[in-house]
């Protein structure tokens, strides 16, 4: 009886594969887009109400792309910045009125996906998100997060403007950091702590830190770790019950190697001290992340799932990208796919292969679309009667 059951299973699987091949031929779709769906089983319906707190310089732009793609593919509503804005009130604490359409319909509209930059303010977020929303965020080692912020925001942050290097800044931070400037210096110290809605200049006293960490644990079901991005995607996919292709992504808003600097060992220790709140935050949730992974998956299963994710990324890169290596601004031929440039950072993007069929082209464009362009695209789809967002740098 068991042998007969196995034979039936493989017969059904073969018929499904043949059907996919036939469908791909009729619709002129590259079969590589369809084949992964055959063995892509999930337990239960997907989670469709998701709030992602987009922290700064933590690989969060790649996560945002994943969420925007999921929203568009499943025809879900996104909580987007109102009018011509490109963030949800940052660096001020979030207010519901920063969301386009939030105040329509009397008691306020609820949205499925929320993932644009904001400073977390739970009572106001709850005004625009359903009660069953899945909350998550991402953290990065604050030593490397601060280095990225220094390069990216060099010309925007008062504390960084008049110092030659991050090592020089960390050697004497109070020479450059004026605490009275408040929000304008948010990127220069404990910025992940700040994004969570807390005081980034608070003394790192034990009782205070523990209380705030407990607040984060109560508000968020998951905090991902940027240094372990693929493992993070495996865990996120499992908890959201999403398909593999929903969480496969190309790296976005990344810098070229020549715009990445290395801190001296002494500078790294100073960065941990200067960003002591972020360091405690990262240490704590790095531990809970791995504890959650071990509770959900065996080491062997985790290795298998990570390998599967990476293989699918390679397949889609071969399908979509003209060259698997990301390109700098001058090398990107489609102006609409050029990412925003900031500070000393050389932000990279991608060129797509020519001659893709329409469905494959649409899929690939979504995967490489920079966040400002994708937000403007979703805004136009969601609010067709409102003026489109103007991305000024694309016309430069």
pLDDT tens digits for range 164-209? 999 999 999 999 999 999 899 999 999 999 999 999 999 999 999 9
pLDDT at 26 over 70: no
Among candidates 50, 206, 212, which has minimal Cα distance to 129?
Answer: 50
pLDDT at 396 over 90: no
pLDDT in tens, 101-146: 998 655 678 999 999 999 999 999 999 999 999 999 999 999 999 9
Segment (H or E) for 192: helix 191-195
Q: What is the pLDDT of residue 108?
A: 75
Instruction: Report which DSSP code applies to 35.
Output: G
Give the burial string for 104-134 (b: 16+ CB within 10 Å, else e): eeeeebbbbbbbbbbbbbeebbebbbeeebb
CB 238 within 8 A of CB 297: yes
Fold exhibited by the domain 50-295+372-383: Rossmann fold (3.40.50)
Distance CA 136, CA 133 (A): 10
Query: Which residues in 179-306 belong to E strands, given as ranges?
Result: 222-225
Q: What is the pLDDT of residue 51?
A: 98
The mean of the pLDDT values for the chain is 91
Distance CA 394, CA 396 (A): 6
Distance CA 112, CA 382 (A): 12
CB 60 within 8 A of CB 138: yes
Structure tokens at 347: 């932000």
Task: Work out the average pLDDT over 350-376.
Answer: 97
> Where residue 286 falls among pLDDT bands split at 50, 70, 90?
very high
Percent of the chain scoring above 70 in pLDDT: 88
Among candidates 254, 259, 252, which has minimal Cα distance to 375?
Answer: 252
Task: Work out the average pLDDT over 96-100.
Answer: 97
CA 151 from chain center: how many Å? 20
In 10 A of CB 369, how many CB atoms? 22
pLDDT at 42 over 70: no
CB 249 within 8 A of CB 310: no
pTM reported for the whole predicted model: 0.90
Query: Which residues in the chain belong to E strands, given as ranges?
Result: 50-53, 113-114, 134-139, 222-225
Q: What is the pLDDT of residue 368?
A: 97
pLDDT at 10 over 90: no
Task: Work out the average pLDDT over 300-309.
Answer: 98
pLDDT at 14 over 90: no
11 or 151, which is more confident: 151
Distance CA 177, CA 34 (A): 53
Which residues lie below 8 Å from residue 196, measured CB to CB, with a gap of 6+?
A: 53, 120, 137, 212, 216, 281
Instruction: Report which DSSP code applies to 129.
Output: S
């Amino acid at each position: 009886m068991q042998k007969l059951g196995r034979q039936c299973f493989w017969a059904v699987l073969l018929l499904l594969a043949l059907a996919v091949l036939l469908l791909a031929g009729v619709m002129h779709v590259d079969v590589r887009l369809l084949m992964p769906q055959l063995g892509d089983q999930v337990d239960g319906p997907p989670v469709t109400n998701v709030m992602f707190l987009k922290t700064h310089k933590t690989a969060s732009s790649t996560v945002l792309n994943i969420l925007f793609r999921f929203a568009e593919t499943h025809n879900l509503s996104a909580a987007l910045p109102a009018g011509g804005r490109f963030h949800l009130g940052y660096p001020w604490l979030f207010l519901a009125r920063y969301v386009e359409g939030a105040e329509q319909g009397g008691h306020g509209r609820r949205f499925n996906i929320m993932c644009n930059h904001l400073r977390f303010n739970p009572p106001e977020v709850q005004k625009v998100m359903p009660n069953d929303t899945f909350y998550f965020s991402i953290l990065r080692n604050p030593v490397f997060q601060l280095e990225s912020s220094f390069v990216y925001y060099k010309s925007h942050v008062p504390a960084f403007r008049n110092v030659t290097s991050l090592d020089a800044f960390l050697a004497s931070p109070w020479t450059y950091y004026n605490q009275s400037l408040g929000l304008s210096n948010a990127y220069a110290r404990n910025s992940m702590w700040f994004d969570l809605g807390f005081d980034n200049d608070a003394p790192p006293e034990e009782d205070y830190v523990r209380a705030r960490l407990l607040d984060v644990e109560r508000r968020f079901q998951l905090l991902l770790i940027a240094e372990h991005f693929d493992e993070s995607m495996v865990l996120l996919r499992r908890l959201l019950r999403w398909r593999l292709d929903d969480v496969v992504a190309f790296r976005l808003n990344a810098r070229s190697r020549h715009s990445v600097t290395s801190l001296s060992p002494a500078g790294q220790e100073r960065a941990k001290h200067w960003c002591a709140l972020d360091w405690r935050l990262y240490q704590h949730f790095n531990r809970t992340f791995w504890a959650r992974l071990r509770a959900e998956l065996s080491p062997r299963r985790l290795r298998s799932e990570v390998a599967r994710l990476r293989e699918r990324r390679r397949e889609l890169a071969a399908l979509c990208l003209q060259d698997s290596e990301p390109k700098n601004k001058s090398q990107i031929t489609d102006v609409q796919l050029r990412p925003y440039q900031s500070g000393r950072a050389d932000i990279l993007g991608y060129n797509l292969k020519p001659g893709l069929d329409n469905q494959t082209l649409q899929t690939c464009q979504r995967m490489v679309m920079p966040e400002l362009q994708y937000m403007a695209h979703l805004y136009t789809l969601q609010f067709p009667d409102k003026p489109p967002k103007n991305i000024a740098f694309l016309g430069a």
